[in-house]
Homo-oligomer: A and B are copies of this chain.
Amino acid sequence: MIILGKQRIGILGMGTVATGFCKTYFMNKSIIDSKMDPSLEITKVLVKDIDKKRDVDLPHSIYVDDFDDFNLEEFEIIIELIGGVNPAFEYIKKSLESGCNVITANKELMAKRGSELLEIAKNNNVLIRYEASVGGGIPLISTINDAMVSNEIIRMMGILNGTTNYILTKMTKEKIGFETALTQAKELGFAEADPTADVDGFDASYKLAILSKDAFGVIPKPEEILKQGIRKISIEDIEYGLELGYKIKLLAIGEKSNEHVELSVEPTLIPIDHPVASVNNEYNALFIEGNSVGEIMLYGKGAGAMPTGSAVLSDAIDIIKKKKDYMGHVKAENIIVKNIGLSAYYVRMEVLDKPGVLGKIAVAFGDYGISLDSVVQRARGGRVAPLVFITHEIERAKLNDALNTIENKEYVTEIQSIIKVVK
């Protein structure tokens, strides 16, 4: 049945984000409807179990458990919130081909097959929006595609995963180890029972892939993003970092040069007085550098029912009110993804506690053209002692070469940590 005078919306899935979307809409309905003519109307929702009790005030009759029950011609917008690549891809494809605009919060899908979906949307003269797929309620996608349209974006640096930021914040403030912090994060609902997607960097790398497409016009293959999680971050590294004036954050970094784009997600030391270093707990932030505007940063909750649901609702209002695509950045042809990793690095090693060792290692670094910015040496009165270096800028491969040599010296017991440093 076509309801005249309404912008009909169908929702696929009724989990956390869909609930947040509905709650935000009902909470702000009067102010939103006053701006919309015709107003929104949620007319069908796809769920697995029609009879499950839900925390949203929608009539039972609008729930269906089969996507084929959606008569797609009836909908102005289909909102996909089931997650995962399949069957979400097929549902969205069919929706776009039937003339529906689509909104999704599905980062994995947008990272892996987003460019196909954008192409299908374009060919069918409809829009696909995915603000909620990166940074929850923080308007990252619209800022990059619209507000920063006058700039070439040359660098992005972000905390894009709330779980790992929560864990690292806990470790830093309470001087507890990774496993303890992870357990606490699970208890408080900040980490999943299986935390792999978060702590091993998959989630952040999907988000970085989406941002790379929008900001640089470069669509990476998943394996092209250098990806390292936070499992190996030790309390020692956090403490040495603080002593040297840095915090450790899981940073997603994208940098564009004329020839290539670097894309990495890895634990990184960042100066304590840098705005990104003050992003704590489950908060996310993205630092964006444009060639004219300079550095701007956006900060907020990168997850959660209400923030993410509110981003979906802003997308819906934008589609209905503007019916215009993002202005976007130009697709970068012939620019490849390559991670040279030219950066300063923090290196922690264990060495024999004997005179002259520090000097020998400094010389060994020098042999590879690596000069040192800071050193922390601390005698422990035992056989071995820790030694911590921060290098000047060097390509990661050269650092690895140097460390391979250094690791084989008889006075070096173990190379324990290598962490990127952003100045």
Q: Which residues of A contact B (CB under 8 A)?
A: 20, 23-25, 27-28, 31-32, 34-35, 131, 137-139, 142-143, 146-152, 273, 275, 277-280, 290-301, 304, 306-307, 309-311, 313-314, 316-318, 321-322, 324, 327-330
Q: A147-B142, A151-B28, A299-B275 are in contact. Are A293 and B307 (CB under 8 A)?
A: yes
Once bound together, how far apart are the Cα atoms of A365 and B269, in whole Å? 47
Q: A273-B278, A293-B311 are in contact. Are A324 and B327 (CB under 8 A)?
A: no
Q: Which residues of B contact A131 (CB under 8 A)?
A: 147
A314 and B150: CB pair below 8 A? yes
B297 and A298: CB pair below 8 A? yes
Once bound together, how far apart are the Cα atoms of A292 and B31, in whole Å? 13
Q: A31-B330, A146-B142, A321-B324 are in contact. Are A301 and B297 (CB under 8 A)?
A: no
Q: Which residues of B contact A314 (CB under 8 A)?
A: 146-151
Q: A143-B143, A150-B28 are in contact. Are A138 and B327 (CB under 8 A)?
A: no
Given contact pairs A137-B296, A149-B318, A298-B298, a sample of 16 additional A-B residue pairs in the complex whose CB atoms are under 8 Å apart: A20-B292, A25-B150, A28-B291, A31-B329, A131-B147, A139-B143, A143-B143, A148-B314, A151-B310, A273-B280, A292-B306, A292-B310, A294-B307, A296-B301, A318-B327, A322-B327
A291 and B142: CB pair below 8 A? no
**Residue among A139, A316, A317 having the largest count of chain B Cβ atoms under 10 Å:** A139
Give A6 Cβ to nearest chain B Cβ, in Å. Answer: 18
Give A280 Cβ to nearest chain B Cβ, in Å. Answer: 7
Choose from B137, B148, B152, B293 the contact partner of A293 (Cβ within 8 Å).
B137
Once bound together, how far apart are the Cα atoms of A300 and B286, in whole Å? 12
Once bound together, how far apart are the Cα atoms of A324 and B27, in whole Å? 26
Q: Which residues of B contact A148 (CB under 8 A)?
A: 139, 314
A-B contact pairs, 7 of them (CB 8 A): A137-B292, A138-B296, A143-B147, A150-B314, A275-B278, A294-B304, A298-B298
